[in-house]
Each structure stands twice: as C-alpha cells, then as structure tokens.
C-alpha cells in the first residue's frame, strides 16, 4: 500500500475510527458566575496516585483562554440519555445561548453536568503546548459516580453500546 501524506482531514478521519466516551469540560466564564463548556473526547486518566487526568483544548476554542485563566475545570462523562447535552456543547456559542440550560451541579470548586456517569473537579497542575492544542494536566480533587449507559463517539457520530 502506498504511503499517504498525512493531512488534517485524513488524520481526523483515522482517529474517528477510535471509539471514545463523550465528556463535557466545564469552567467558569470570565465574570466567574456563568458556566462555559465544550464537548470533548480528548480526555484521559493519567495516574492513580495522585489522581491525575488530562484534557486537550484547541487554541481556537472559546474554552481555551478560560481554562488558562481559571486553572480549574470539571469533567462530566455523559450517559446515552445525555446526547442532547453533548450536542448543546458542540454548537457555536450564538446558537447555544438560545438552547435550554443543562442541569448543572456543584462538585468541589467546579460546576459539572448533573446526571452524568461520573463527574470530576480538577485543578490544573501543568500545561503543555502541543501543536494547535494545549494539554491541561490536572489533579482530580473530587469525584462523583452516577449510573447508566455511556454515550459513545464513533466515526464522527454519537452512538450507544449494543
């Protein structure tokens, strides 16, 4: 098979074949009162001792400067029933403002999505610039476990486990 030049589109298509869970990353707006969030699958567990997680945020995302400023965020692992929440946080801000507000709840110092499979309150301990993204490495300070079935993202579509 011939070598294929790696383009952004080809790279994205290749990774779309890797099924992931769906999360919403939340942080506070600049005023410190309103919640800002984005749907993300660039999320991973890094260490058990201490409990560390990471998220990657594109430099072109509205979330990026807020994450840099706040140095704190929430992770909400979504259930299949929260497909609408995932869509809510994946549309542009202008459209999002016309949609119903998701059910937020407080966890530690973060606001997270109520009814999720798991939620985590995270404090950034290190950032690493990586191409057009920044990796936010964070200590997980609070965890809440929910129940249900996971929402999956596969080949650029939301899916459910059979």
Q: What mean pLDDT comes out for the span 26-45?
A: 90
Q: What is the pLDDT of residues 90-113, one digit of tens each?
A: 998 888 888 888 999 999 999 999
User: At 80, is the pLDDT very low, low, confident or very high (cuts 50, 70, 90)?
Assistant: very high
- Residue 146 CB coordination number (10 Å): 15
Q: What is the pLDDT of residues 46-55, one digit of tens each?
A: 999 999 999 9
CA angle in degrees (0–180, nearest 5) for 79-83-53: 55
19-55: b or e for each residue (b if 16 or more CB lie within 10 Å)? ebebbbbbbbeeeeeebbbbbbbbbeeeeeeebbbbb
User: At 123, is the pLDDT very low, low, confident or very high (cuts 50, 70, 90)?
Assistant: very high
Contacts of 10 (CB under 8 A, 6+ apart): 4
What residue ranges define each of the domains in the chain, with the CATH number in brackets? 20-155 (2.30.110.10)
Asked if the model's pLDDT at residue 2 lies above 70, the reply is: no
Radius of gyration for the alpha carbons in the chain, expressed in angstroms and rounded:
16
**In whole angstroms, how far apart are CA 104 and each of 4, 5, 107?**
45, 43, 10
Q: Where are the beta strands (DSSP E) in the chain?
A: 20-21, 23-28, 35-40, 43-47, 52-58, 72-77, 104-107, 110-113, 118-130, 133-145, 151-154, 157-160
């Amino acid at each position: 098979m011939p070598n294929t030049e790696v383009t952004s589109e080809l790279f994205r298509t290749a990774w779309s074949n890797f099924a992931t869970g769906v999360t919403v990353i939340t942080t506070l707006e600049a005023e410190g009162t309103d919640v800002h969030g984005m749907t993300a699958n660039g999320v991973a567990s890094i260490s058990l001792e201490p409990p560390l997680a990471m998220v990657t945020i594109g430099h072109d995302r509205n979330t990026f400067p807020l994450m840099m400023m706040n140095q704190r965020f929430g992770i909400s692992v979504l259930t299949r029933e929260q497909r609408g929440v995932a869509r809510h946080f994946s549309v542009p801000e202008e459209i999002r403002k016309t949609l119903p507000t998701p059910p937020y709840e407080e966890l530690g110092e973060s606001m997270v999505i109520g009814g999720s499979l798991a939620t985590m309150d995270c404090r950034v301990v290190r950032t690493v610039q990586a191409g057009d993204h920044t990796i936010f490495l964070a200590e997980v300070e609070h965890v809440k476990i929910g129940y249900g079935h996971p929402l999956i993202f596969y080949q650029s579509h939301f899916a459910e486990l059979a």
